[in-house]
């Protein structure tokens, strides 16, 4: 039995954080004097998906295709009062392949979020979560890199507070912990701790917001340790009632130590998070760009530039179309690594709202990966076609 993903120290750390999170949740409930005025919603759901994938590994050569069925039962709980907001969710994805049955798996996602106003000016928040998944798609979405499929266990927990300094400014402090454990021996387990502080100032009757955010993070694995220091300045500006622009630019300094090589490397770089959202009566659209430091499953720091766009339009009261697209440029942050790829994907789809809570979707996705470090088979393609039925059954009391 492989117990690589169940280190005792990781379990102890996660247990302590979970106890802390649950303590905050219970404190919020006990301190809330509006229990009778609470709004509670429970939403059982189930999704049924049928898919054809012509490159299930997203491989650069020796492609395998298959038909895939997924059943996704889930449950979401929401609790809200004037001072307290609690949310919890759980979902299981049972994934079955028609021919490649060795790829069958069961993915799991659990999450908990809580916030509570302790005082008129002081609020606290906390979150925790666990995800068991296979890494091809989730890792690709995070880093723009393709990796061999592997089972990953992701843990997260965090807490923070916000204090209203004045009617037009506030100060927030947050801590976040994450841990990634892989079942396969050729992947590198890791932890990441992040501390950030955000000062916000509101202008024009809160239509514009300036945010200043210093942060520090420490990434640690068996192969490397990276300290990352940064400062970001952002502006949220409402150009029109239906057009909002978010711009955040920053500078960062990273100091990496590679244990196997016995070397160190430090770098200055920049970060960005830019997005514009426009809404109409029957449509909406968002375009954006982001740049930040991520880490490969080998513990290597990676700079990722991501451009993205999404749009949807209701053609009738129930029928509509949507389109999403993304473009990644992922490159090693230093001379030690060898990652240098370009990946893009476009996904058009049609949807039909059977009722307010039941939905049918038909979609197609084309993805293309170009790995500049390969001399042969440097390009990979993947086509997917799917039909998805989603049923939600909310109940509020």
Tokens standing for 255? 């100091």
pLDDT, average across residues 372-387: 92
The whole-number pLDDT of residue 142 equals: 86
Q: What is the pTM of this model?
A: 0.87
pLDDT, average across residues 3-8: 40
189 closest CA partner among 76, 266, 65, 298: 298
Least confidently predicted of 1-5, 112-116, 266-270: 1-5
Task: Give the whole-angstrom CA distance, residue 338 versus residue 156.
Answer: 29
Give how far the C-alpha of residue 336 lies from the chain's centroid of Cα atoms, to the nearest Å: 27
The whole-number pLDDT of residue 61 equals: 82
Tokens standing for 345? 């994907």
Say if strands 224-240 and 243-258 run parallel, antiparallel, or are unpaired.
Answer: antiparallel
The whole-number pLDDT of residue 12 equals: 44
- The pLDDT tens digits for 329-349 are 999 887 666 889 999 999 999
Confidence class for position 304, pLDDT limits 50, 70, 90: very high
Q: What are the two backbone dihedrals, phi and then psi, of residue 183, each rounded to the nearest 5 degrees? A: -75, -35
Task: Give the whole-angstrom CA distance, residue 30 versus residue 110.
Answer: 24
Those residues whose C-beta lies under 8 Å from the C-beta of residue 10, and which sit 6 or more positions away, are 155, 179, 181, 191
Element (H, E) at 22: helix 8-31
Is residue 318 within 8 A of residue 352, CB to CB? The reply is: yes
Q: What are the two backbone dihedrals, phi and then psi, of residue 7, each rounded to the nearest 5 degrees? A: -65, 140
pLDDT, average across residues 117-144: 91
Q: Which residue has the tokens 């295709």?
A: 65
Is residue 162 within 8 A of residue 122, CB to CB? The reply is: yes
The whole-number pLDDT of residue 33 equals: 43
The whole-number pLDDT of residue 336 equals: 66
The whole-number pLDDT of residue 170 equals: 97
Element (H, E) at 259: none
The whole-number pLDDT of residue 199 equals: 98
The whole-number pLDDT of residue 2 equals: 39
The whole-number pLDDT of residue 36 equals: 54
Integer CA distances (angstroms), 338 to 47, 187, 298, 341, in order = 40, 16, 11, 10
Is residue 362 within 8 A of residue 389, CB to CB? The reply is: no
- The pLDDT tens digits for 177-212 are 999 999 988 899 999 999 999 999 999 888 899 999
* CA contacts within 13 A on the Cβ side of 76: 13
Task: Give the whole-angstrom CA distance, residue 290 versus residue 305.
Answer: 6
pLDDT, average across residues 62-77: 96
3-state SS track over 147-208: CCCCEEEEEEEEEEEEEEEECCEEEEEEEEEEEEEECCCCCCCEEEEEEEEEEEEEECCCCE
Confidence class for position 137, pLDDT limits 50, 70, 90: confident
Those residues whose C-beta lies under 8 Å from the C-beta of residue 293, and which sit 6 or more positions away, are 228, 252, 254, 269, 271, 301, 302, 303, 304, 333
**Mind listing the domains of the chain with CATH numbers?**
8-396 (2.40.160)
Which of 378-381's residues contact partners 24+ apart within 8 Å by CB, and which partners? 378/60, 379/60, 380/55, 380/58, 380/59, 380/60, 380/61, 380/146, 381/55
Task: Give the whole-angstrom CA distance, residue 393 versus residue 46.
Answer: 9
The whole-number pLDDT of residue 11 equals: 41
- The pLDDT tens digits for 7-39 are 434 444 444 444 444 454 444 444 444 455 789
Is residue 340 within 8 A of residue 331, CB to CB? The reply is: yes
Residue 149, pLDDT > 60, answer yes
- Higher-pLDDT residue of 98 and 28 is 98
Task: Give the whole-angstrom CA distance, residue 125 versus residue 21.
Answer: 9
How far the first Cα of the chain sits from its last, in Å, is 46
Confidence class for position 389, pLDDT limits 50, 70, 90: very high
């Amino acid at each position: 039995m492989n117990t690589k993903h169940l280190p005792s120290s990781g379990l102890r750390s996660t247990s302590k954080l979970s106890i802390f999170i649950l303590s905050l949740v219970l404190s919020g409930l006990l301190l809330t004097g509006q229990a009778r005025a609470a709004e509670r919603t429970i939403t059982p759901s189930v999704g049924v998906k049928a898919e054809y994938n012509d490159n299930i590994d997203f491989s650069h050569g020796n492609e395998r295709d298959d038909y895939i069925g997924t059943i996704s039962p889930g449950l979401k709980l929401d609790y809200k009062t004037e001072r307290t907001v609690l949310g919890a969710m759980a979902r299981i994805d049972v994934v079955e392949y028609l021919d490649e049955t060795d790829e069958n798996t069961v993915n799991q996602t659990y999450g908990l979020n809580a916030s509570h106003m302790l005082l008129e000016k002081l609020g606290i928040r906390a979150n925790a979560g666990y995800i068991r998944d296979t890494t091809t798609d989730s890792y690709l979405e995070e880093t723009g890199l393709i990796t061999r499929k592997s089972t990953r266990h992701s843990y997260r927990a965090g807490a923070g507070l916000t204090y209203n300094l004045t009617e037009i400014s506030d100060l927030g402090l947050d801590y976040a912990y994450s841990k990634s454990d892989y079942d396969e021996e050729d992947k590198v387990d890791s932890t990441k701790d992040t501390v950030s502080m955000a000062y916000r100032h509101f202008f024009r009757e809160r239509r514009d917001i300036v945010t200043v955010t210093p942060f520090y993070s420490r990434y640690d694995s068996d192969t490397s340790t990276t300290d990352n220091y940064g400062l970001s300045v952002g502006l949220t500006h409402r150009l029109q009632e239906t057009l909002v622009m978010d711009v955040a630019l920053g500078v960062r300094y990273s100091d990496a130590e590679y244990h196997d090589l016995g070397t160190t490397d430090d770098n200055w770089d920049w970060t960005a998070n830019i997005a514009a959202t426009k809404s109409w009566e029957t449509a909406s659209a968002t375009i954006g760009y982001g740049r930040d430091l991520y880490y490969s499953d080998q513990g290597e720091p990676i700079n990722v530039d991501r451009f993205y766009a999404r749009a949807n339009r209701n053609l009738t009261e129930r029928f509509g179309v949507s389109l999403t697209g993304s473009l990644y440029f992922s490159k090693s942050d230093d001379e030690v690594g060898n990652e240098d790829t370009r990946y893009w994907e476009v996904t058009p789809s049609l949807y039909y709202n059977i009722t307010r809570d039941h939905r049918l979707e038909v979609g197609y996705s084309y993805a293309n990966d170009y790995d500049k470090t390969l001399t042969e088979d440097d390009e990979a393609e993947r086509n997917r076609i799917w039909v998805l039925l989603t049923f939600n059954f909310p109940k509020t009391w």
